[in-house]
Amino acid sequence: MPSADSAIPFIDFSEFGDGTSESAKRIGTQLYTACRDVGFLYIVGHGIPQEEIDGIFDMSKKFFALPYETKMTAPHPKEAWHHRGYSGIGVEQVSQMVFDDDKIEEMRGKGADFKESYDMGSEDSHKCPNVWLEDKYLPGLRSTCLDFQDTCKKLENKVLKALALGMPGVPENFFEEYHSGYDNQLRFLHYPSAPRKVFDSGEKGRIAAHTDFGTCTFLFQDDCGGLEVESPHNPGTFLPAPPVHGAIVFNIGDFLMRWSNDELKSTLHRVRAPPPRADDGEMTRERYSIPYFCSADPERVIDALPGTFSETRPKKYAPITSREYITMRMNATYAKY
């Protein structure tokens, strides 16, 4: 469990129900406060059975255990914005808002993220069709992932409704109208074991400090550790966000921060080598995590949320579609090797 002085709050959704009770309004207010002040939190009482979470992690581990040549039969397309398919170790480097081509090229020479990934999304997405592994290689992969996405979408609906309940001026079902889910993304991540000295020296890294660029993210993580979140009170200082059994990590993305006229906080976070345990020896433990990224429907135009602007607090940003914003951010965030 996090220490008592952890800056990352816990919010219990077990009494949220259908969102009409006084308990639901209280949870909404707690969620809004955490998203405004911290941008990161743990969700407990979310309603997803632990057996289902264990099952998706089991499928992820089976996928990454396949031979490289097999995984490469479902490759990530060459376009950075087409986040589907498999990316091998050392293929990708996450950056934070780098738009200059020369700077991106310079980054490529400094070593990529020591991880591999497999991305998928809705079968209804026309711009980003899924790149599935053939069923003969890993039976049940497709159905298991699609079922888990449906589960995550239901949680997204609940949490965004809670946020609307808690935000002054935002109608109760406001976010639901913008989030059908067909532009969401589920990602399997695997950080292999490696000698600790290569991380201590900076020779290798896991994921550098960055913000997510969509509406919000739900993160499922194993018991390895390594996630760190920038302190809301001390910029530049990162606090551990250790795994908590039964809890899901939730954070606000840049798109929702912009949509809220910067009222909600999209917080820097990173993944480092996990803290050493007595039996680790000279090697780090491997880490598995599964983020579910939520985005507004691509063609919907968003402007500052109701209640986030006034005569004395003008709008900071021009209207923009989700597609325009997400494409811009993806091209500036992922340096492909």
Q: What is the CATH number of the domain that holds 55?
A: 2.60.120.330
Structural domain range at position 116: 10-335
Question: Taken in order 287, 249, 144, 146, is the CA torsion positive or negative?
Answer: negative
Confidence (pLDDT) at 98: 45
Q: Is 3 domain-assigned?
A: no
Q: ∠ at Cα 143 (137, 144), nearest 5°?
A: 90
Q: Which residue has the tokens 């921060």?
A: 257
* CA dist., res. 31 & res. 166, Å (int): 7
Confidence (pLDDT) at 202: 64
Confidence (pLDDT) at 99: 42
Q: Is 286 domain-assigned?
A: yes
Q: Is 2 domain-assigned?
A: no
* CA dist., res. 244 & res. 251, Å (int): 15
Q: Is 1 domain-assigned?
A: no
Burial class (CB in 10 A: 0-12, 13-18, 19+), 274: buried
pLDDT in tens for each of the 337 residues of the chain? 444 345 799 999 999 999 999 999 999 999 999 999 999 999 999 999 999 999 999 999 999 999 999 999 999 998 877 889 999 987 755 544 444 545 445 444 455 688 999 999 999 888 889 999 999 999 999 999 999 999 999 999 999 999 999 999 999 999 999 998 888 999 999 999 888 887 776 666 678 899 998 999 999 999 998 899 999 888 999 999 999 999 999 999 999 999 999 999 999 999 888 878 777 778 888 999 999 999 999 899 999 999 999 999 999 999 999 989 987 777 665 544 4
Task: Kindly report the number of other CB atoms within 10 A of residue 148's CB atom.
Answer: 21
Q: Is 275 domain-assigned?
A: yes
Q: Is 84 domain-assigned?
A: yes
Exposure string (b/e) for 83-107, b if CB count within 10 Å is 16 or more?
A: bbbbbbbebbbbbeebeeeeebeeb
Q: Is 184 domain-assigned?
A: yes
Task: Kindly report the number of other CB atoms within 10 A of residue 136's CB atom.
Answer: 7
3-state SS record for the chain: CCCCCCCCCEEECCCCCCCCCHHHHHHHHHHHHHHHHCCEEEEECCCCCHHHHHHHHHHHHHHHCCCHHHHCCCECCCCCCCCCEEECCCCEEECCCCCCHHHHHHHHCCCCECCEEEEEECCCCCCCCCCCCCCCCCCCHHHHHHHHHHHHHHHHHHHHHHHHHHCCCCCCCCHHHHCCCCCCEEEEEEECCCEHHHHHCCCCECEEEECCCCCEEEEEECCCCCEEEECCCCCCCEEECCCCCCCEEEEECHHHHHHCCCCCCCCCEEECCCCCCCCCCCECCCEEEEEEEECCCCCCEECCCCCCCCCCCCCCCCCEEHHHHHHHHHHHHEEEC
Q: Is 77 domain-assigned?
A: yes
* CA dist., res. 214 & res. 323, Å (int): 10
What's the predicted TM-score (pTM) here?
0.90
How many domains are there within the chain?
A: 1
Confidence (pLDDT) at 3: 41
